[in-house]
Amino acid sequence: MPFIDIARALFAYSPQSSDELQIDEDDLLYVLEKGDDDWWKVKKKVPGDDDGPVGLVPQNYLEQVAPNTPFLPRLTLMRSLRYPPHGHSTTTPPRQRRNSPSPQT
């Protein structure tokens, strides 16, 4: 069954009926359907298994994530270190030599 989104569980959820799915915090889930009643049909991502359990979970227990989310903070940090903030020059001022006198004030 094709999925329409990927989500991460913000909180653990224990099912209250047979059509609901138990999830644990930080579980990755494939979103199969988004219901109008704030319940989403999801499939739990299970390592090495394409047939993870399927069921309904409350939408407010989930956050939508991009496919490579675990790497995004690191890439953002790397970009912030490599590139200057908007409006700043990309050139750096020349360094002073160690033996040069300090500027007079």
Q: Give me the CATH number covering residue 52.
A: 2.30.30.40
| Averaged pLDDT, 87-104 | 52
Residue 74 lies in a domain: no
Say which residue, 38 or 104, is predicted with more confidence. Answer: 38
Specify the number of domains making up the chain: 1
Q: List 5's β-bridge partners, or say none.
A: 31
Residue 83 lies in a domain: no
CA angle, 39 as apex, 42 and 55 as ends, to 5°? Answer: 35
Residue-wise pLDDT tens digits, 19-64: 999 999 999 999 999 988 899 999 998 877 677 899 999 999 999 8
pLDDT band at 78; cut points 50, 70, 90: very low
Residue 32 lies in a domain: yes
Complete edge-to-edge strand list for the sheet that includes strand 28-34? 54-58, 39-44, 28-34, 5-9, 62-64
How many angstroms separate the CA atoms of 9 and 64, rounded? 9
Domain that holds residue 33: 5-64
Q: What pLDDT score does 1 carry? A: 63
